[in-house]
Amino acid sequence: MVKKVVDVYNMTSDTNFGPHHDGDLLTLACCMVQIRRKVGDLWKSMSNPEKNLEYWIVGRVASSLNSKKKNHLIYFMKVDDVMIFDEYSDEFGLRGEVNGRKDNLYRFNGDNDDYFDPKNYEKVIDEDILPKHIPSHDIGKGKYVLLSENYCYFDWKNDPYSKILDEWGIPELKWIPSGKEGPFRRKYDFEDTEAIIEKLKEIKRENCQKFIPNKEGGDGCGGCSE
């Protein structure tokens, strides 16, 4: 049986860094450490996760980003692969290199093979650039990089087709017990999850071509709230 999950979070900035989209690939490498760690641990624990796990992540506008566009859909992604940071830096160019990815900030430089130890990584840009992004945070807490070729990124600031989640037919999050994550966590129940995933697939199929990725300048995720 395929395990299906939807995670929704509020984005307090949108600078094409976290997440980073370029061409056919979207990556989440330096923000949302809790989601990255949770998804990655689940992915690595499963047999054949490419077929047995459908994990979708949805980013929406936080009121602090734009109060008039609160809850508008910014992007969604289906997690297609999970990498550790050493794999990510090997397969894709580091920031500053030709064809390097903007969020690929860390080079493995350790004396041992502990690829989850942030002390074994060096930041490839000056420390005063993106000062909030350091190995102990992005790698020590987040552990993994999430990759997707099945995503939509919306020009929510300008596009007339931009909508809030419930206008897309995506219901509001519910407060339900969540065990170890605290007394309650906002999430979807099983029936809503099934319907939301089908709705996301429909949006991608019918509407994604209408939207132009927001590739404005800027840097850093600025912080997000799950």
Query: Per residue in 178-216, pLDDT tens?
Result: 554 444 445 556 567 888 888 888 888 876 644 444 444
pLDDT exceeds cutoff 90 at 140: yes
Q: Name the residue type at position 25.
A: L
Q: Which two tokens stand for residue 182?
A: 């605290």
Question: Is residue 224 pLDDT above 60, yes or no?
Answer: no
- Given this model, what pLDDT does residue 157 score? 83
Q: Confirm whether 75 is domain-assigned.
A: yes
In this prediction, residue 219 carries a pLDDT of 46
**Mean pLDDT, residues 115-142:** 90
Residue 23 backbone phi and psi in degrees, to 5: 70, -125
The verdict on residue 158 lying in a domain is yes
Residue 83 covered by a domain: yes
The answer to whether residue 136 scores a pLDDT higher than 50 is yes
pLDDT at 174: 58
The answer to the question of residue 93 being in a domain is no
Q: Which domain holds residue 160?
A: 3-87+141-225
In a domain, 170, yes or no: yes
- Note whether residue 216 is domain-resident: yes
The helices-and-strands tally (H runs, E runs) of the chain is 5, 13
Residue 37 domain flag: yes
Task: Give per-residue pLDDT as tens, 45-97.
Answer: 999 999 999 999 999 888 899 998 888 888 999 999 999 999 999 999 899 88
Instruction: Report the CATH number that the domain containing residue 69 is assigned in CATH.
Output: 3.10.590
Residue 106 placed within a domain: no
Checking if the pLDDT of 135 tops 90, the result is yes
Q: Per the structure, how many domains does the chain have?
A: 1
Strand order of the β-sheet with 20-22 is: 20-22, 25-28, 144-148, 81-84
Mean of pLDDT over the chain: 82
**Given pLDDT bands bounded at 50, 70 and 90, which one contains residue 116?**
very high
pLDDT at residue 129, rounded to an integer: 79
